[in-house]
Amino acid sequence: MALVTPDTGAPRIFASPLARRLAKEGGLDLLALQGSGPHGRIIERDVKTALERGTPSKAAPLAVAPPADATRKFFEPGSYDEIPHDNVRKAIARRLTEAIQTIPLFYLNVDCEIDALLRLREDYNSAAPLGSDGKPTWKTSVNDYVVKALAIALQRKPEANVTFTPDALLRHKSSDIGVAVSIPGGLVTPIIRNAEAKSVREISDEIKELAARARARKLKPHDYEGGVSAVSNLGMYGIKDFTAVINPPQSTILAVGQGEQRMIVKNGAPIVATMMSVTLSCDHRAVDGALGAELLAEFKHVVEHPAMMFA
């Protein structure tokens, strides 16, 4: 946490002595950190986390947003309403600014034919028995299958199932996948742990439960911290394709667009197929171009052969 010292105008940083020593040894600029201690004080954990993530040193400080008054001057007083930032919006702004400024991002796009997946989903959902309320006991979404397919793809391409640190890549045994959930005033990404080992129905139930707790502001840090990759799906809004920003310490994120019928050529003949465009954002420090392309090819293969998800 930093304030401006009235007499000098220099930033006054609130940090523990141990945090200051670790930051100095690691060449880390404390102004680039957001403290998690009492009253925003920077503590040992904040410095160690920043060093692991490769937060910029003094030679490359994070850009600072212009003061609020510098923006207000462009608009007539009374022509707008002010909505103060809550903690969720502040955290989103800080972390995604950090991601854009510190992660060398690149993007890969592919189209997936999902007719087989839609048929399998319809058959699976139709097999659900009715509960005491007369409603089916389960109903899976396309997004549930996307999460499962990404987890399987990461297992089939373990070189991409990694996290970057300044001194090593952490290759994970499980594939923990974040799922972007829209909540009033922001966005959170709860994590499906060991997604490769869970059934589509288990993933579906867990996403619903985590989303409900997210909207009720009842998520715990373990519910949304970590993860190796994530899925952000805007298909339900009619979005064809888009790019998503990686949420550190994750190394990739998959942006999923709407499934729509398109004319394609298959086996030399034009046919109508349901296609879904997906874009993979990659942290080039952990996943280079060829590896990202191989991961996306594995994902496409699983989506187009959805029986693999039930193997």
Within a domain: 70 = no
Whether the link from the prior residue into 248 is cis, omega within 30° of 0, is no
> Sorting pLDDT into bands at 50, 70 and 90, what band is 237?
very high
Within a domain: 205 = yes
Q: What does pTM read for this prediction? A: 0.78
Task: Tell whether 116 and 53 lie within a shared domain.
Answer: no
Sign of CA dihedral 60, 61, 62, 64: negative
Return the CATH number at 294. Answer: 3.30.559.10
Task: Tell whether 263 and 162 lie within a shared domain.
Answer: yes
Q: Could you tell me the two tokens for 192?
A: 């499906």
Within a domain: 118 = yes
Task: Tell whether 53 and 111 lie within a shared domain.
Answer: no
pLDDT at 91: 77
Task: Tell whether 250 and 139 lie within a shared domain.
Answer: yes
pLDDT at 197: 97
pLDDT, mean over the chain: 88
Task: Tell whether 44 and 112 lie within a shared domain.
Answer: no
Task: Tell whether 266 and 149 lie within a shared domain.
Answer: yes
Task: Tell whether 146 and 271 lie within a shared domain.
Answer: yes
Residue 57 has pLDDT above 80, yes or no: no
Query: Where are the alpha helices (H) located in 199-268, listed in sequence order?
Result: 200-215, 221-224
Within a domain: 73 = no
Task: Tell whether 131 and 39 lie within a shared domain.
Answer: no
Full residue range of the structural domain in which residue 54 is found: 2-63
Residue 58 has pLDDT above 70, yes or no: no
Q: What gap in Å lies between CA 101 and CA 298, rounded to an integer?
A: 29
End position of a domain, from candidates 12, 36, 63? 63
* Structure-token match 């910029």, residue found: 56
Within a domain: 181 = yes
**Which active-site residues does the annotation give?**
284
Q: Could you tell me the two tokens for 237?
A: 């809004």
Return the CATH number at 31. Answer: 4.10.320.10
Task: Tell whether 131 and 27 lie within a shared domain.
Answer: no
Task: Tell whether 35 and 132 lie within a shared domain.
Answer: no
* Structure-token match 């996307």, residue found: 146
Q: How many domains does the chain have?
A: 2
Q: Are 191 and 227 in contact (CB under 8 A)?
A: yes
Q: Are 118 and 142 in contact (CB under 8 A)?
A: yes
3-state secondary structure of 8: coil
Within a domain: 216 = yes
Within a domain: 88 = no
pLDDT at 9: 38
Task: Compute the half-sphere exposure of residue 169: CA atoms within 13 Å on the CB side of its CA.
Answer: 16
Within a domain: 192 = yes
Task: Tell whether 155 and 50 lie within a shared domain.
Answer: no
- The DSSP H or E segment spanning 275 is strand 269-283
Task: Tell whether 44 and 142 lie within a shared domain.
Answer: no
Helix, strand, coil shares, percent, the chain, to 5: 40, 25, 35
- Least Cα distance to 256 among 267, 269, 272, 240 occurs for 240
pLDDT digit string, tens, across residues 168-191? 999 999 999 999 998 887 888 999
Q: Could you tell me the two tokens for 244?
A: 């998503």
pLDDT at 63: 56
